[in-house]
Amino acid sequence: MSKQPAKRPRAEPPGSAAAKRRLGVLVVDPLAVVRAGLALLIDDRPDMEVLAEAGSADDALEAMGRLRRTRVVVLTGLGLEGPHDSFWLIRTLRELFPAAGIVGCGANADPTAISRALFMGADGYVDKAVDPIEFLRCLRKASEGEMVLAGPPMEWVGAIADGIERQRDMELKLTEREREVLVVAAEGLTAREIAERLGVAERTITTHLGRIYGKLGVSGRIAAIRQAASAGLVTVGSRE
């Protein structure tokens, strides 16, 4: 059985005032090696500590629910897939834990993924290729409610902002249920499979799809998914 990497010894006991002043970080990433590396980097700082690690969105929410700290940043890797992917996690965290800092983290993520993370409620995005000192500085800034964006080229800023606006426009057009249907449809499921996933009748799904096509001004599913993917509202091919 593999062991978790040991944390750097600290002079203060966990319940002390000094410990509570430290910035607590929840590290979420599907890759165990990445989680371990990030934990070592963060735990090496005297003003930070990793409170928990999680490899899935559900595990992250469970861990977050157990934490009793006011200064917490959730470092969320954008590689989580499936119905409860990284973007679902970011939105859920923002709804359940509005005071927490949320930072998306990835390796060479494109502007669409970054804008989607920000639209869902992330306080910023940090690329894994940035200097470690800059990486840690961004976590501190996010914990103070500041917007952070480190790693993407400057010429991407406009595309990221445009992506956020496109997602906002699409969310205004579609109901929450219609967006949910479209997200599942992007996984390549049939109407019957979507109905089974969402626990409704197949006819209900076909009705939702018809309304989606009308609101988006498209003639079919492929065009609707392409438009939603372009806006960053769905991830194509994320089927489990």
- pLDDT average per 10 residues of sequence, the chain (240 residues): 43 52 92 94 93 95 89 93 89 90 89 85 91 93 89 77 75 84 88 91 91 87 83 61
pTM of the complete model:
0.70
Same domain, 116 and 150: yes
Q: Which two tokens stand for residue 154?
A: 């400057």
Which of the listed residues 108, 127, 159 is the one where a domain comes to its end?
159
What local confidence, expressed as pLDDT, does residue 180 receive? 86
What local confidence, expressed as pLDDT, does residue 201 receive? 92
Same domain, 29 and 54: yes
What local confidence, expressed as pLDDT, does residue 8 receive? 41
Would 35 be classed as within a structural domain? yes
Count of domains in the chain? 2
Same domain, 42 and 132: yes
Same domain, 99 and 196: no
What local confidence, expressed as pLDDT, does residue 6 receive? 39
What local confidence, expressed as pLDDT, does residue 63 receive? 94
What local confidence, expressed as pLDDT, does residue 1 receive? 44
Same domain, 129 and 58: yes
What local confidence, expressed as pLDDT, does residue 237 receive? 52
* CATH code (residue 129): 3.40.50.2300
Q: Which two tokens stand for residue 141?
A: 């800034």
Q: Which domain holds residue 178?
A: 174-231
What local confidence, expressed as pLDDT, does residue 18 receive? 53
Same domain, 145 and 191: no
Same domain, 35 and 129: yes
What local confidence, expressed as pLDDT, does residue 15 receive? 52
